[in-house]
Amino acid sequence: MRRGRPALWVKWGLPHGINAGDAIFTLANLAMLRLEEVSNPMVTLHAARVLHQTSLLLTQGQYLDLEYEKRDEISLDDYQPMIERKTAALLSASTKLGPLVAGAGDRKTAYYGEFGRSLGLAFQIQDDLLGIWGDQAKTGKSNQSDLITGKKSLPVLFGLAQNGEFARRWRRGSIQPDELDRLADQLETEGAQRYAQERASEFTQEALTALQRAEPVGEAGQALHSLTLQLLGRED
Amino acid sequence: MRRGRPALWVKWGLPHGINAGDAIFTLANLAMLRLEEVSNPMVTLHAARVLHQTSLLLTQGQYLDLEYEKRDEISLDDYQPMIERKTAALLSASTKLGPLVAGAGDRKTAYYGEFGRSLGLAFQIQDDLLGIWGDQAKTGKSNQSDLITGKKSLPVLFGLAQNGEFARRWRRGSIQPDELDRLADQLETEGAQRYAQERASEFTQEALTALQRAEPVGEAGQALHSLTLQLLGRED
């Protein structure tokens, strides 16, 4: 299921799923080259290179994610290398391509890239927090909690590193819906929620600092600032 | 099994297989952009576009191939649209990119593309012929015969269109190793081998004509001519 609908491969079979993915991947690359119609060849090549390099990072992130699923113990240090590639790289490319095409210059473009990267890291950790303490995850009947799916999110890795009651329970195997409340509370008591909130705040602050350095102007600049606070669930 | 070795997905699992495929696809696209180091930006963009458009055609060919596998009856007319995309498109891109980068001009480049396309079509039909009447396919103990795997190759489609003895047997279901010799002979009697040989010859002739029009020179030109005859199993 993706966004509440069956994935393409479920509906039409794996071979068509893989093939359609390749086709859409190619269409994205072709769309990027159409930049040439409104920009110059050098900028178009640069943008295409950014997209390809980002795609490569995404496959590295996916590789780490698949490996982490198999390994019993992942340390806190393993977390960032994975979300840098799986989440932050794509947001960084998105925020870098605009200034690149607008001819904003290398320094400004790098700040925008840094803005997207930090925003991506903050956003992923926020998503991890919601996966355990969000409204959807908290309702006992839900199977959406990351504690049930076994996702090695940042709060879980923090909890495992504490080697306390949470870690002992996690290592005994699958967590059941009726344990959710107690385990989420236990994880909170051990400091995992606070730790993740602090990391998310740090990255949010880094994102806002990078955005300030990029000196966005006018309505669009204000929109980026609002978007950041909105994505992270904070007031503007 | 690919070229006698287990496929990546068999060895490391489907998720890693798909992910590694995406990574390699991306590396190919990045490699193409490195053309910029030895060529100009416009040519590099043009070459990248050719590669993407070809990739898109390959997914269309793969789509047709998957659909044909499911359908009971495929007509002779369904054959070419599939191999144009699955086989000929890639060879056409390969023979077009050289002259494109060398600055050979649109007309010459188009002839080279036409050369690769016709060569690809001839080569695929030749492969179809070997899949039924080649040494590997003929040995009774082999499971490599296209008659056993059920591949809807050109001779098979020709045989089905005859609605004769071969077609009646094919429609009754899987063919067994001990029927191979008889069925291959039957298909030959019904004219399928001759038909496919004639089509392969036509495309070979088209390839050689296009190559002549492209006016390749020197050693490299001679090599393309030799390659064509060699690929198609003919004397130089």
The residue among A9, A14, A18 with the most chain B CBs within 10 A of its CB, best to mutate, is: A18
Chain A partners within 8 Å of B54 (Cβ): none
Quick one: pLDDT at residue B140? 52
CB-nearest to A26 from B19, B27, B55 is B55
User: Under an 8 A CB cutoff, do A49 and B30 touch?
Assistant: yes
Closest CA to B85 of B59, B46, B116: B59
B74 conformational bin, left if phi > 0, alpha if psi -120 to 50, beta if neither: beta
> Read out DSSP for B109-129?
HHHHHHHHHHHHHHHHHHHHH
User: Rounded to the nearest 5°, which phi and psi values hold at B2?
Assistant: -125, 120
Q: Distance (Å, rounded) from C-alpha A16 to C-alpha B55?
A: 15
Q: What is the ipTM of this complex?
A: 0.88
**Residues A10-20: pLDDT tens digits?**
999 999 999 99
**Residues A54-101: pLDDT tens digits?**
999 999 999 999 999 888 789 999 999 999 999 999 999 999 999 999
Quick one: pLDDT at residue B236? 46
CB B49 within 8 A of CB A30: yes
The residue among A8, A26, A49 with the most chain B CBs within 10 A of its CB, best to mutate, is: A26
- Inform me whether the C-beta atom of residue B7 falls under 8 Å from chain A C-beta atoms: no
- Inform me whether the C-beta atom of residue B34 falls under 8 Å from chain A C-beta atoms: no
- Inform me whether the C-beta atom of residue A60 falls under 8 Å from chain B C-beta atoms: yes
Closest CA to B158 of B141, B175, B176, B146: B146
Q: What is the mean pLDDT of chain A?
A: 92
Provide, rounded to the nearest whole percent, the portion of chain A with pLDDT above 90: 79
CB-nearest to A25 from B25, B49, B63 is B25
Nearest chain A residue to B13 by CA: give it.
A66
Provide, rounded to the nearest whole percent, the portion of chain A with pLDDT above 70: 96
Break chain B down into helix, strand, coil percent, rounded to 5. 80, 0, 20
Q: Distance (Å, rounded) from C-alpha B165 to C-alpha B162?
A: 9
- Inform me whether the C-beta atom of residue A7 falls under 8 Å from chain B C-beta atoms: no
User: Under an 8 A CB cutoff, do B49 and A60 touch?
Assistant: no
Report the first-to-last Cα separation within chain A, whole angstroms: 33
User: Under an 8 A CB cutoff, do A23 and B56 touch?
Assistant: yes
User: Under an 8 A CB cutoff, do A56 and B26 touch?
Assistant: yes
CB-nearest to A29 from B21, B23, B29 is B29
Instruction: Take residue B99 and report the two structure tokens written for it.
Output: 């002259």
Q: Please, is A60 exposed, middle or buried when counting C-beta atoms within 10 Å of its C-beta (0-12, 13-18, 19+)?
A: middle
User: Under an 8 A CB cutoff, do B53 and A30 touch?
Assistant: yes
Query: In whole angstroms, how far apart are CA B206 and each of A97, B104, B215?
Result: 45, 21, 14
CB B151 within 8 A of CB B69: no
Q: Is the pLDDT of residue A236 over 50?
A: no
- Inform me whether the C-beta atom of residue B38 falls under 8 Å from chain A C-beta atoms: no
- Alpha helix (H) ranges present in B140-217? 146-149, 154-162, 165-171, 180-189, 192-214
Q: Distance (Å, rounded) from C-alpha A7 to C-alpha A111?
A: 36
- Inform me whether the C-beta atom of residue A212 falls under 8 Å from chain B C-beta atoms: no
Instruction: Take residue A118 and report the two structure tokens written for it.
Output: 């930090």
Q: Is the pLDDT of residue A136 over 80?
A: no
Instruction: Take residue A32 and report the two structure tokens written for it.
Output: 């990027």
Say how far residue B85 (Cα) sits from the centre of its chain. Answer: 9
CB B96 within 8 A of CB B116: yes
Closest CA to A124 of A207, A66, A55: A207
**Residues A102-134: pLDDT tens digits?**
999 999 999 999 999 999 999 999 999 999 998
Can you tell me which residue has the tokens 């993407």?
Answer: B52
Closest CA to B119 of B3, B42, B201: B201
Q: Name the band, by pLDDT with cuts 50, 70 and 90, for residue A168.
A: very high
Closest CA to B19 of A70, A66, A23, A92: A66
CB-nearest to B26 from A44, A45, A59 is A59
Quick one: pLDDT at residue B143? 65
pTM: predicted TM-score of the whole model, two decimal places? 0.89
Closest CA to A138 of A187, A195, A177, A196: A177
Q: Is the pLDDT of residue A142 over 90?
A: no
Please identify every stretch of chain B with a pLDDT value under 50, giving residue numbers as ranges.
235-236
Give the containing element (helix H, strand E) for B224: helix B218-231
